[in-house]
Structure 1
Amino acid sequence: MLPLSIFGATALWSPYFALSLVILTVFYFLLTVKWRDRFEGSEPLKARERNYFIASMILLYIVKGSPMDLLGHILFSVHMAQMALLLLIVAPFMMIGIPNWMWRKVFAITPLAKFINVMTKPIVALLVFSLMFSLYHYPIVLDTVKLNVFLHAGFTLTIFISALFLWWPLINTLEGQPQLHGLKKIGYVILSALLITPACTLIIFVDVPVYETYMTGEAWLQAMALCVPAGTLASLPPSITGPQLFTSMPALYDQQLGGIIMKIMQELIYVVVIGKIFITWYRDEQKNADVITQREIDERKKREELYHIN
């Protein structure tokens, strides 16, 4: 098998993308720390917010800037791992990392606030995300998107935004914004898992390779142009015509593995989320029960005191 290094350091490590993330992170800290006092209603940056944002930037680079991105254009299974990390971890981490005072500034823009309020309604968010995920992995759509850099960037950004809408009802703590609570959150997560199951099932159980851009031929070389500089591609030996030179895994097995990876990663992430939701809900119920019990004890004491006085 040929090494990935033949595509060059730029394709492997995406230095320009890394630089853009560094600039974004510096800008984040300028807004939330150094320039924070310039914004009315701002609040000190919490350690939790800082840590989640930094984690989201690191994971975003791993998914879209490290050799994982290059490998994701060679192996469909790696592409699906990218999707799981991007949509189910990077998206919520980034949202948690943005302080509520910054979200309030976003919602102060009335047209944008109206659009977000519609798109983050639980049913709408679930349906839009599931539709975008399923549509993106429909063979004709994925093959078409991967042949055009602008389509690919636009579609990836759109599905990422739909993931932000999906997570908003679960993790937002902004006052005045609708929030799911307790068992409703668990039901929301379970329904989200069920809605993308058909797409994953079709990918897993189809008995032929369906993605041209992950097989031999011109389509694969065109798709590689999304992450490999044109000059590097042009300098490659004519014998390099398909992903089979970089892996021993047949295209069908790689395709089926991709569906399995996506579903397993989703289930593992959702189990963690549901566990956290359940623990929080249980603690709140216990706290409320203690408050109610104490209130009843206080009222009973007052009645007894009145009885003795009389």
Structure 2
Amino acid sequence: MNVAWWCSGTGQVWTWRYTPFIGVWLVAAAFIGSYVAAHRRAGQPLDRTLLRRWCLGVLALFVVSEWPIGQLGAGYLATVGVARYVVYTFVAAPLLLSALPTWLIDRWLPFGSRRERAVSFVTRWPVALLVFNVVLFGTHVPVVVDGLKTTQLGSFSIDVLHLSAGLVWWWPAIRRERARNAIQEPIRAFYLFASSVLMFVPAAFLTFSPLPLYGLYELAPPLWLGFDAIADQQAAGIVMNVVGGFVLWGIIAALFLRWARDQHEDDEVTRRAENVVRLAQARASSADRDEP
């Protein structure tokens, strides 16, 4: 069976022999090269922390797109296909987005430009929530998977949709610029919680369906004895439900703890300022009483 993986030439018959995908290497190099070049053109120094995040995000994309994970997810195992979606959406997208400095976003999306207005619209949290779930449900519908993943263009389109929807969805939750649609607590908690709940719906269909949903994976040659299309599909549902849920809830917990810490620090600053004011008022009152 030939798999129409977007970075392979004419489709690949599965073999355990290592097959480098040059397209994946070129895309990863382009991501890192464009990031460094943008800093050099702007005359800005590279922040090591942000560069590390960007490289980790690119590495996540690379690992799940290179051999063997990329080809396995393209047409052999639904479990690997769902795992790739989880990494694209919940690992690579937030890492890449958090690595963008504010000045670079302002440079790419100057206020008032058409690009800025378009991005501003899709990253408003109600729209971003809708976009994320439309892509989540739409790209896991059997007719879409069986119709698109059989062609290189369709396979590439699904990967682009997953990464793009992940970037749009994470934008209001990660970015801190209020002018760029950043949301604060408690709306952010509701936003992330709603997404985690809605993700369980397609996962339930995969886990509890008595029949194979995807002809693409059902007709693929089995790679391991005893791991048929039903077992593969159930494992895919568990990966989406458990692994994706744990990743998302871990991020929710981290964001909540950061918000609680920031609130505590703000309260401490306010309390110290009030104490300084009270002390100054007490000294002024004492000085007035001491005057003859």
SS of aligned partner of 1:207: coil
CA contact (8 A) 1:185 1:277 kept: no
Given candidates 155, 164, 167, the residue that maps to 1:164 is 167
Cα shift at 1:182: 3.1
Are 1:121 and 2:124 matched, yes or no?
A: yes
Aligned to 1:257: 235
Write the mapping of 1:17-32 to structure 2, written as runs, cut at 5 A: 17-32=24-39
Output the CA distance in 1 between the equivalents of 2:274 and 2:255: 28
Are 1:177 and 2:180 matched, yes or no?
A: yes
Write the mapping of 1:216-295 to structure 2, written as runs, cut at 5 A: 216=219, 242-295=220-273
CA contact (8 A) 2:85 2:162 kept: no
Given candidates 92, 104, 109, the residue that maps to 2:94 is 92
CA contact (8 A) 1:182 1:277 kept: no
Q: How many matched pairs?
A: 274
Aligned to 1:14: 21
Tell me the alpha carbon deviations over residues 80-126 of structure 1, each in whole angstroms, 9 at most, x when there is no partner. Answer: 11110011111111112222222112221711111111111111111
Cα shift at 1:7: 6.7
Question: Once structures 1 and 2 are overlaid, which stretch shifts more, 92-101 or 79-88?
Answer: 92-101
Cα shift at 1:195: 1.7
TM-score (norm 2): 0.87
Aligned to 1:66: 67
Output the CA distance in 1 between the equivalents of 2:264 and 2:166: 32
Output the CA distance in 1 between the equivalents of 2:223 and 2:178: 54
Aligned to 1:199: 202
CA contact (8 A) 2:93 2:166 kept: yes
After superposition, the Cα gap between the structure-2 partners of 1:245 and 1:91, relative to the gap in structure 1 and judged at 3 Å, is: closer
Write the mapping of 1:34-113 to structure 2, written as runs, cut at 5 A: 34-37=40-43, 43-72=44-73, 73-108=75-110, 110-113=113-116
Tell me the alpha carbon deviations over residues 243-266 of structure 1, each in whole angstroms, 9 at most, x when there is no partner. Answer: 225553011111011011011122
CA contact (8 A) 2:18 2:67 kept: no
Cα shift at 1:8: 5.2
Write the mapping of 1:124-135 to structure 2, written as runs, cut at 5 A: 124-135=127-138
Cα shift at 1:5: 6.8
Tell me the alpha carbon deviations over residues 148-168 of structure 1, each in whole angstroms, 9 at most, x when there is no partner. Answer: 222222232123211111000
Q: Residue 275 of structure 2 aligns to which amino acid in structure 1? A: I
Q: Residue 27 of structure 2 aligns to which amino acid in structure 1? A: S
SS of aligned partner of 1:35: helix
Tell me the alpha carbon deviations over residues 199-242 of structure 1, each in whole angstroms, 9 at most, x when there is no partner. Answer: 111111111111000022xxxxxxxxxxxxxxxxxxxxxxxxx3
Aligned to 1:155: 158
CA contact (8 A) 2:90 2:244 kept: yes
Gaps of 5+ in 2: 1-12
After superposition, the Cα gap between the structure-2 partners of 1:106 and 1:30, relative to the gap in structure 1 and judged at 3 Å, is: closer
Output the CA distance in 1 between the equivalents of 2:167 and 2:158: 14
SS of aligned partner of 2:179: coil
After superposition, the Cα gap between the structure-2 partners of 1:302 and 1:92, relative to the gap in structure 1 and judged at 3 Å, is: same
After superposition, the Cα gap between the structure-2 partners of 1:273 and 1:75, relative to the gap in structure 1 and judged at 3 Å, is: same
Aligned to 1:306: 284
After superposition, the Cα gap between the structure-2 partners of 1:6 and 1:264, relative to the gap in structure 1 and judged at 3 Å, is: same
Aligned to 2:7: none
Aligned to 2:10: none
Runs of 4+ in 1 over 4 A off after TM superposition: none
Question: Once structures 1 and 2 are overlaid, which stretch shifts more, 47-56 or 295-304?
Answer: 295-304
SS of aligned partner of 2:180: coil
Question: Once structures 1 and 2 are overlaid, which stretch shifts more, 266-275 or 137-146?
Answer: 266-275
Cα shift at 1:28: 2.1
